[in-house]
Amino acid sequence: MTMRLVLTLTVLLALPAAAHVQPPSPTAHNVSILHCAHLFDPVAGKLLGETTVFVEDGHIRQIKPGAIDPARYRTGGSAGGTFSYHDLAGQTCMPGLIDAHTHLTLQFSKSTYSDKFRLNPADYAIRSTVYAKRTLLAGFTTVRNVGDTHNESIALRNAVNAGIVPGPHIFTAGQFVGTTGGHADPTNGFRWDLQGDPGPKDGIINSPTDAWKAVRQHYKDGADLIKIMPSGGVLDESASSENPQMTLAEIKAVVAAAHDYGFTVAAHAHGAEAIRRAVLGGVDSIEHGTFMNAEDMKLMKEHGTWYVPTIIAGQYVMAKAKEGWYPPQVAAKAEQVGPVIMATAGKAYRAGVKIAFGTDAGVYPHGENAKEFQYMVQAGMPPTFVLQAATTHAAELLHKQDQFGQIAVGRGADVIAVPGNPLDDITAMQHVTFVMKDGVIYKEDGKPTFL
């Protein structure tokens, strides 16, 4: 008997057996059925009608238009399986939201500047678990955490991934990368004998060589991306929010090293010259972009650079400056930057710059992320666009468009719901009633399910 004949007989004998193999009963798995009054599809940019979403073992198994009779799917008796039906009547379902600019290990307050001398890294890490929960319950099932001081967010990410604490999917930059005395320098505002000399291991660079070492240290530490500070910032204790603080050579070195190691690079930049250098240096995104000019916008379109506006942060610091929260030099910067960010975001949208949703959470209270949608609409962006910014756009910025940003068969089940129609009233995004991440329900009927 030839080998070909043996193989043929083997296949033929196998066919009848295969025909009798039955798929596992749904009740042998963890099955949830979501009935949505509407479903927002960010890929098509459309609000669909009544839709049923089938979730099995943490993944989307099926999406059907219309409603179904749950009794047809509820069969009993199989050990280890669960079944649940969730009628989200009057609500709009959509993919779990993505905030591409958060700081989960910090929440600014009147005592923040003195807290640096009282709190340990462990204090920030423990507090971050609370902020992560608030973020998840607000409907943000994925975040990009763009900077901390002691890699606390790496520990937080690992704890969430291990199921120790509830929180969103976290992609973290670990420590900020900046220059001596710049926005990332953790000893800004310290008296001379306490300043020390932070270096690449601390995220502080002063040459292209330092840049390579800092990126490699981030790789060693387990970061997911790199965050650089090529301009001054608002809340540090320096004089300028917009002066350039990294050379083009330093930025190019960071980007070259980062891309070698599979990292994207986010650039905090307020000033026009710092933005120009960052874009020419090859960064993947500009954060804040307050004083972005027409040349910057043109360059960003040419280079495909993303823009993450963080309008809410500008509005918040402007308000708190008037309440006396900050030292005088910080308050002056906050009052200068706050009124400009929204106008810049509107101009960037009209110019065709790619925009992803991000808020600078931690500058304002965690859990209020969705207020950014309202500010984006006020800046002139259509509601459909701002929802895409927090789903498909942000997923593309993360290079995770194959995992997040849409409800699709085979993907992880990250689904949220809000009352009514957010395309008619974008403030509905501030009232998330249902949150599912990886098929696990963390909020239903507006209440947490895990407390």
- Note the pLDDT tens digit of each residue in 306-354: 999 999 999 999 999 999 999 998 899 899 888 899 999 999 999 999 9
**Residues 377 and 411 both lie in one domain:** no
**Residues 390 and 437 both lie in one domain:** no
> What's residue 77's pLDDT?
39
> What's residue 95's pLDDT?
98
Q: Is residue 210 part of a domain?
A: yes
Number of domain units in the chain: 2
| pLDDT averaged over 10-residue windows placed end to end, the chain, 451 residues | 35 33 52 97 97 96 94 61 93 98 95 89 96 98 96 98 98 96 80 82 95 98 98 87 94 98 98 98 98 98 98 95 91 90 97 98 98 98 98 98 97 98 98 98 95 69
Q: Is residue 15 part of a domain?
A: no
Query: Could you give the 3-state DSSP secondary structure of residue 241?
Result: coil
What distance in Å separates the CA atoms of residue 329 and residue 438, rounded to the nearest whole number? Answer: 45
**Residues 37 and 133 both lie in one domain:** no
Which bin fits 128, alpha (ψ -120 to 50), beta or left (φ > 0)? alpha
* Whether 386 contacts 357, CB under 8 Å: yes
**Domain enclosing residue 42, as ranges:** 26-95+407-448
Instruction: Give Cα separations from 136 to 140, 153, 370, 383, 413 (angstroms).
Output: 5, 15, 12, 22, 14
> What's residue 157's pLDDT?
98
**Residues 276 and 255 both lie in one domain:** yes
Q: Is residue 7 part of a domain?
A: no
> What's residue 117's pLDDT?
87
> What's residue 79's pLDDT?
53
**Residues 386 and 422 both lie in one domain:** no
